[in-house]
C-alpha cells in the first residue's frame, strides 16, 4: 500500500543529514540512485552478530601465545647435539680399547650399581627439588662429555709424563693429574647450569614500547642478603634463606646444600658408569685372551680365567659405587655455600676448597690402588668409609629437617624466590 504523499516514504531530515555525513566523500555516483552509506569508522571495532562473526576472522582477537624463546630452544638443541656427539665419540673410544664383546659386557656389569646410586640421589632430591632436566643434563654430561674430555686429557698427560719423568711420571699421573682432570671435567656440569646461555635481547617490536629483556639477569639487592651475581643464572634451588632468629646474615638452608650434592652426584654417577664400563670391558678382554692362550696350551678352561674381571667388578661396583659421587658432592657443597652465603671471604673460598678436597680424596683413592691389598684396605677403612658415612648422615639430616618443617621450608623458598 503506497504512502499518502504518493512519491516515497517520508523520512526524517535529521536522519538524512546524519546518513549523508556518514557516507564516504569519495563514494561513486550511480545516476539518480544513492549509494548505501558505509559504517562509521569509529564503530568498526564493534563485534558483528554471532553467525557473521563465526565466518569472518576477527582482527581484534588476542594474539596466539608465543612459544619458548628462540635462544632457549637453540641452546637446548645445541646441548643435546653436543652430548649425543660426545656419546658417540666415547663409545668409539671405549670400543677401541675393549672390543665389541668387551664393550657389551662392560656396559652390562656397569649397570648393576647404577640403580642404587640413582635411588639414593633421587631420595635426597626430595629435599633439594632440583628439576628433572637439570639432573638429566648433569647425568649426561658426566657420562658423555666429562668422560670424553677426561680420556683425551689423561692419555695426553700420561704420555707426556711417562716420556719425560719415566716411572715417577706414572705416579704423578695417577695421584695428581688424573684427579685434577676428572674432577674439573665433572664440575664443569655445575658451571654450565649457572651460565645464562639462554638469555638474549628479545622483544616483540621496536614500536610497541615494550622494553627488551636484559642479557644478564640481575637480582634486586635486598637488605640482609648477599650481593647478587649478575653473571650467573639465578636458580631457585641455589638461593639463600632469609635471616632468621635476628641474625644479621642469611645462611645456607639444607635445600641448597642438598641441591649441590644432587648436582655433583648426578654428574659423578654418569662419569662412574662410563668409567666402570671401560675398566670392566678392558678386564674382560684381557681375561678372554688369557683364556684362549690357556686353551691353546692344553689347559682346561675354568672360572679362574676371569679373576681380573671379578676383582674389578668387586672393587668398583660393590665396594666403591659411591666413590665418584662422594668426590664431586664436595664440589657441589662448596658451590652451594658460595652462592648462598653473605660472607665475602667464605663465598670466595668455598668453591676452591670443595674442589681441592674432592681432588685430594680422589688422588688418595687412586694412590691406594698401588699400595697392595693391605694398604688399600687401610685407606678404604680409615678414609673412604668415614667420609661416606658422613655424607649419609648429612643426607639424612637434610631429609629430617625438610620433613620436620615443611611449611617453613616452603615459606623460605617463596621469600628467597
pLDDT tens-digit readout, 17-75:
444 445 444 444 445 555 555 555 545 455 545 554 444 454 455 554 454 455 567 87
Which cell numbers hold the place of 82?
A: 653436543
Task: Output the pLDDT for position 70.
Answer: 57
Helices (H), 26-146: 50-55, 70-110, 114-128, 132-140
Residue 251, beta-bridge partner list: 241
CA dihedral sign, ordered 88, 187, 116, 360: positive
CA distance 194 to 232: 5
The distance from CA 292 to its chain's CA centroid, rounded to whole angstroms, is 45
Residue 33, beta-bridge partner list: 30
The model's confidence at residue 306, banded by pLDDT at 50, 70 and 90, is: confident
Helices (H), 111-235: 114-128, 132-140, 147-165, 167-172, 178-194
Query: Distances in Å between the alpha carbon of 188 and those of 18, 230, 281, 387?
Result: 75, 19, 27, 23
The model's confidence at residue 291, banded by pLDDT at 50, 70 and 90, is: confident
In angstroms and rounded to an integer, the radius of gyration of the C-alpha atoms of the chain is: 35
CA distance 205 to 12: 50
Is residue 4's pLDDT more than 50? Answer: no
Task: Output the pLDDT for position 84.
Answer: 95
DSSP 213: P
- Three-class DSSP category at 123: helix
Task: Output the pLDDT for position 249.
Answer: 54
Task: Output the pLDDT for position 255.
Answer: 87
Residue whose C-alpha is closest to residue 215's, from 202, 205, 228: 202
**CA 414, 416, 417: angle at the middle one, nearest 5?**
65
Cα-Cα-Cα-Cα torsion 356, 362, 367, 373, nearest 10 degrees, comes to 140
Say which residue, 402 or 118, is predicted with more confidence.
Answer: 118
CA dihedral sign, ordered 306, 309, 313, 314: positive
| Structure confidence by residue, pLDDT tens digits, 311-333 | 999 999 999 999 999 999 999 99
Phi, psi of 298 (to 5 degrees): 95, 5
| Structure confidence by residue, pLDDT tens digits, 336-355 | 999 888 888 888 999 999 99
| Structure confidence by residue, pLDDT tens digits, 127-178 | 999 999 999 999 999 999 999 999 999 999 988 888 887 777 777 888 899 9
Say which residue, 22 or 103, is predicted with more confidence.
Answer: 103
Residue 30, beta-bridge partner list: 33
Residue whose C-alpha is closest to residue 380's, from 366, 401, 398, 395: 366
Amino acid at each position: 500500500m503506497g504512502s499518502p504523499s504518493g512519491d516515497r516514504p517520508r523520512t526524517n531530515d535529521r536522519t538524512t543529514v546524519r546518513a549523508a555525513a556518514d557516507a564516504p566523500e569519495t563514494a561513486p555516483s550511480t545516476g539518480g540512485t544513492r549509494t548505501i552509506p558505509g559504517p562509521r569508522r569509529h564503530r568498526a571495532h564493534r563485534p558483528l552478530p554471532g553467525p557473521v562473526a563465526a565466518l569472518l576472522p576477527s582482527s581484534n582477537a588476542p594474539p596466539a601465545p608465543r612459544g619458548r624463546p628462540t635462544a632457549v630452544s637453540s641452546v637446548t638443541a645445541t646441548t643435546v647435539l653436543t652430548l649425543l656427539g660426545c656419546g658417540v665419540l666415547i663409545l668409539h673410544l671405549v670400543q677401541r680399547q675393549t672390543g665389541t664383546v668387551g664393550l657389551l659386557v662392560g656396559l652390562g656389569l656397569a649397570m648393576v650399581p647404577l640403580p642404587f646410586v640413582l635411588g639414593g640421589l633421587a631420595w635426597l632430591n626430595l629435599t633439594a627439588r632440583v628439576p628433572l632436566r637439570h639432573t638429566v643434563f648433569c647425568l649426561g654430561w658426566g657420562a658423555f662429555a666429562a668422560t670424553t674430555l677426561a680420556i683425551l686429557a689423561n692419555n695426553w698427560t700420561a704420555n707426556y709424563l711417562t716420556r719425560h719423568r719415566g716411572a715417577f711420571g706414572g705416579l704423578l699421573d695417577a695421584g695428581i693429574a688424573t684427579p685434577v682432570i676428572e674432577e674439573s671435567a665433572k664440575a664443569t656440569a655445575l658451571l654450565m647450569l649457572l651460565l645464562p646461555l639462554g638469555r638474549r635481547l628479545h622483544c616483540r617490536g621496536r614500536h610497541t614500547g615494550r622494553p627488551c629483556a636484559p642479557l644478564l639477569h640481575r637480582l634486586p639487592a635486598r637488605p640482609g642478603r648477599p650481593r647478587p651475581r649478575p653473571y650467573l643464572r639465578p636458580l631457585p634451588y641455589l638461593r639463600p634463606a632469609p635471616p632468621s632468629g635476628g641474625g644479621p646474615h642469611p645462611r645456607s638452608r639444607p635445600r641448597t646444600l642438598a641441591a649441590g650434592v644432587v648436582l655433583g652426584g648426578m654428574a659423578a654417577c654418569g662419569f662412574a658408569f662410563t668409567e666402570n664400563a671401560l675398566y670392566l670391558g678392558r678386564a674382560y678382554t684381557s681375561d678372554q685372551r688369557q683364556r684362549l692362550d690357556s686353551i691353546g696350551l692344553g689347559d682346561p678352561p675354568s672360572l679362574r680365567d676371569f679373576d681380573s674381571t671379578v676383582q674389578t667388578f668387586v672393587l668398583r661396583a660393590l665396594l666403591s659405587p659411591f666413590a665418584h659421587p662422594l668426590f664431586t658432592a664436595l664440589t657441589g657443597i662448596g658451590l652451594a655455600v658460595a652462592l648462598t652465603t653473605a660472607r665475602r671471604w667464605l663465598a670466595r673460598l668455598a668453591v676452591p676448597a670443595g674442589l681441592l678436597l674432592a681432588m685430594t680424596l680422589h688422588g688418595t683413592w687412586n694412590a691406594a690402588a698401588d699400595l697392595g691389598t693391605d694398604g688399600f684396605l687401610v685407606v678404604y677403612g680409615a678414609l673412604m668409609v668415614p667420609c661416606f658415612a658422613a655424607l649419609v648422615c648429612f643426607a639424612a639430616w637434610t631429609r629430617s629437617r625438610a620433613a620436620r618443617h615443611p611449611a617453613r621450608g616452603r615459606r623460605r623458598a617463596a621469600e628467597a624466590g
